[in-house]
Structure 1
Amino acid sequence: MQMLPEGQKNTVQVTYDDQLKINEFSKLILQKDDVDKNLTQEKTEKEYLDDILLEIELLDEDEYMNYKIGESFLLMKQKKIVKQLNKDLTKIESKIETLENKNSDIMEKLQNLKTALYVKFGNNINLER
């Protein structure tokens, strides 16, 4: 079975190091997909927290409200809930920053591998999704 167009022959030999680079590229793609998924979830959670924080800040500071922690609800004053939401927001922003840094590191590694593999294999390899 021939994968190249008729008349073209593959003259490039795949070495062990080349195969390791191809495998690393594949692993990085999977990691990037996972990071992208987590990043999307964290950004959505941040949007929810921003929205609820705006709504709760409009209420009276001495008003009591239910605040969900894990699987239980606590009756807390509005100002204490605002403090807790700000702490949660800070944590999520930190997670987002970490995920974005990890994503950029992965993208840099992918670009380096892609360049090295295309230099060796040219049109004989397809690294696009």
Structure 2
Amino acid sequence: MLPADHKPNPEIEVLWEDQERINTFSKLNSRIRVLKDRLKTHEQEKEYLSDVEMELELLDEDDQVQYKIGEAFIYLSQEEALERLQRDTENVDKQIQEEEQQIGETAQQMTALKGLLYGKFGNAINLEA
């Protein structure tokens, strides 16, 4: 929100390119929120997998454990379950890394657009969350 004492500058003309930049910034802002939500979900999943790994290591090697694959559970030996768990953890790590990279790239684009828009409109535009 703009301050109550704010008066728009009638000399600043909003060009088509400016409107496109504002729209692009809005899309990037939405995208970064989605990416951060996904990142948070994957970080929780990694934490859960770490907890499961510690529990599996406490079991006897001869014990059978139920392992969830998709919507079904199958029985695996402790060793097989640990191997699958390690692969799942690696996949989650890759997803986390990709999302962090996408967040960084999106933030760079947003920073560039902020510079252009604030340079032209100054305090007449608010691009903060």
Shared fold, TM over 0.5: yes
Q: 1:51 to 1:101 in 2, by over 3 A?
A: same
Q: 1:18 to 1:41 in 2, by over 3 A?
A: same
Work out whether residues 67 and 76 of structure 1, in 8 Å CA contact, stay in contact via their aligned partners in 2: yes
Normalising by structure 1, we get a TM-score of 0.92
Q: Structure 2: where are the runs of 5+ without partners?
A: none
Deviation at 1:9, TM superposition (A): 3.5
Normalising by structure 2, we get a TM-score of 0.92
Name the count of aligned residue pairs: 127
Detail structure 1 runs of 4+ shifted over 2 Å in the superposition. 3-10
Percentage of identical aligned residues: 36
Q: Match for residue 109 of structure 1?
A: 109
Q: Structure 1: where are the runs of 5+ without partners?
A: none
Q: Match for residue 118 of structure 2?
A: 118
Q: Match for residue 67 of structure 2?
A: 67
Work out whether residues 9 and 124 of structure 2, in 8 Å CA contact, stay in contact via their aligned partners in 1: no
Work out whether residues 8 and 124 of structure 2, in 8 Å CA contact, stay in contact via their aligned partners in 1: no
CA distance in 1, matches of 2:6, 2:56: 67
Work out whether residues 59 and 78 of structure 1, in 8 Å CA contact, stay in contact via their aligned partners in 2: yes
Q: 1:65 to 1:10 in 2, by over 3 A?
A: same
Name whichever of 4-13 and 22-31 sits farther off. 4-13
Paired residues for 1:50-89 under 5 Å: 50-89=50-89
Paired residues for 1:32-43 under 5 Å: 32-43=32-43
* Aligned-pair Cα RMSD in Å: 1.6
* SS of equivalent residue, structure 2 residue 73: strand
Work out whether residues 10 and 124 of structure 1, in 8 Å CA contact, stay in contact via their aligned partners in 2: no
Deviation at 1:96, TM superposition (A): 0.2
